[in-house]
Amino acid sequence: MNIANLLNRRDPLKRAFVALEDGMEDVLKEEFLLPPESVAPDEDHAQAEALGDELEPVEAVQETETAPAEQQEDAPVERIGPHAQHRLAAYASFEEAQARTREDLARIGEAIASLVASQHMGREFLNDCYAEIHRANELENANAAFAAENRRLSERADKLERLRARYDQLVEVLKTREARLLAENETMRETIGELRLELVEARNLIARMESQQGELQTALAARTTEAERYLREAEVLREKSISLSVELDLAQKKQSESRRRAEELSAMHASDSARLSEIMGKLVAEESESARLQKSNDALEAKLVEANEYAARLAAELSDRDRRHQSENHALRAEVQALNARLQSAASEQRETLDTAATLRSRISDLETDKQVLEKRLSVQGRDVEVERRALAEGISPAANDDRHRQETARMQAEITELRATIKRLRRTEVSQHPASKRSKAKEGAAGEQVELTAADVAIATQVAAE
C-alpha cells in the first residue's frame, strides 16, 4: 500500500476533484456560450471513463491491503504465548482501523460516483432543455413567418435572459457543492494525517514484534537442541539398562549353577559322613572283637596280659578319638551350613570357589582311593589276626607271621607319613594361591584329619595284630 500517494496532493482523489472542476468549467463554457452539439453524451462517457480509470488505483490499493489479511487467515494455526497474543490483538485492532479507513475511502468513492451520476443526470437535463429549446426555436421559426423581426429579437433576448438566470442559479448550486467538497477534503486530510501517525506507530510495533519473534525462535531452537540431547541420553541409558538386565540374568544363572554345585558338595559331604559312620561302626566291631580276645586270652602269659592292658588303653584312646571325631563332624556340619549360607550371599566369588572345590574334590577322591586301599589292607590284616588267633589257640608259634606283620606295619606307617606330608603341602599351596580359599581350607583340613584318623586307626590295629 502506497501511503505517500494517498497523502500527497497528487493522489487520485485530488486529481479526480481537479478533473471534475475542469469538466464543470468546460461544460459551463460550452453549454452556456455555444450552441448544443450532438457529441455531448460521448464526452460525458469519456469523462466517466477517465474518472473510473482514476478510481482504479484506489481499488487496487484496497485489494493489496485485503490480500495479506486473507493470507494470514489461510496460514496454519501455531501455538502462541500470551505476550504474542497481546501483540496479535493489537495488530488485529490496527487491521480493523485500516479496514475502517478502507471503508471510508470506499464511501468517498461511492460519493464521487454519486456526484458523477448527478452530473450525468444534470447533463441529461440540459440535453432535454436543449431539445426543448430546439423545439422552441422551430416554433419561433414557424412564428417568424407571421411576426416581425423585432419581435423575434426581443423574444430571443428574453429567452437568453431567462437562460442566464437559470445558469446563474446552477453556478450558485455548483459553488455550494464545491465548498462542501473542499471542507470534506480538509477533514479527510486531517484524518489521513492521523492515520499516518498511527501507521508509523504500527510499523514500530511490528518491528518490535519481529525482534521478539526472532528471540523466541532462537530460544525455541535452543530448547529443541536440548530436548534432542536429552533424548540421546535417554537412549544411551535405555541401552545400558538393557545390557545390565542381560548381565543380571547371566549372574542369576551363574548363581543358580553355583547353588546346584553347592548342593552337590553338601550331598558329597553327607555321603562322606555316612562313610565315616560306617568306619566307626567297623571300629566299634573291632573293639568288641578285641574285648572278646582280651576275655579269651586271660589265661595266657604275662605278655598277653600286657598286650591286653595295652589294648585297653588303645580302646580308651579310640573312644576319645571317636568323641573328638564326632565333635569335629558336628563342627564340619556347622561349617558346611555356614559355607552354604556364604555361597548363597557371595555370588561374586562363586567362580573361584567352584574352581577350588573342583581341585579339592579331585584331591578328596584321591584320598578316598587311598583310604579304600588302606581299608582293604586293614581287612587283610584282620583276616591275618584271625588266623593268628586260631594258631595261638592251637599252640602254633607265629614268629614268621609277626615279622611279616611288622614289615607291613612299617610300610603302612611310611605311607601314612607320606599322605600327611602331601596334605600339608596341598594346604600350603592353597593358602598361597588365593585368600578366598580359606573357606575351602576348613573342608580340606577336615578331610585330611579324617584320613589321618583312619590311617592312625589302621596303624593301631596293625600294631595290635602284630602283638
For 328-368, write each residue's pLDDT tens digit: 767 777 776 776 666 666 666 667 766 766 776 677 667 76
Q: 441, 427 in Cβ contact below 8 A?
A: yes
Cα–Cα distance, 148 to 310 (Å, whole number) = 203
Per-residue pLDDT of the chain (467 residues; tens, 9 = 90+): 444 444 444 566 677 667 777 776 776 666 655 444 444 445 555 554 554 554 454 444 445 545 444 454 454 445 677 888 888 888 888 888 889 888 988 988 898 888 888 888 888 888 888 888 888 888 888 777 777 787 778 888 888 888 888 888 888 988 888 888 898 888 888 888 888 888 888 888 888 888 888 888 888 888 888 888 888 887 888 888 788 878 888 878 887 887 888 788 778 877 777 777 777 777 777 777 767 776 765 666 666 667 667 767 877 877 777 777 677 767 777 776 776 666 666 666 667 766 766 776 677 667 767 767 776 776 777 677 777 777 766 654 445 556 666 676 667 667 767 776 776 676 666 666 555 445 544 444 544 444 444 444 545 545 544 54
Rounded alpha-carbon distances, angstroms, from residue 265 to 193, 340, 376, 377: 106, 9, 26, 29
- Dist CA 445 CA 332 (whole Å): 10
Helical packing angle, 149-296 and 302-345, nearest 10°: 180
Within a 10 A sphere around the Cβ of 55, how many other Cβ atoms? 18
Cβ atoms within 10 Å, residue 342: 13
Rg (CA), the chain: 69
| Structure-derived torsion over alpha carbons of residues 147, 148, 152, 157, reported in degrees to the nearest 10 | -140
Sign of CA dihedral 202, 205, 211, 215: negative
> CA-to-CA distance for 287 and 312, rounded, in angstroms?
9
Identity at 1, one-letter amino acid code: M
H helices, E strands: number in the chain: 9, 0
Please list, residue by residue across 112-121, b when 16 or more beta carbons sit within 10 angstroms of its beta carbon and e when fewer do.
beebbeebee
Measured distance CA(459)–CA(420) in Å, rounded: 14
Instruction: Please check whether residue 275 is in contact with residue 369, taking contact to mean a CB–CB distance below 8 angstroms.
Output: no
Mean of pLDDT over the chain: 72
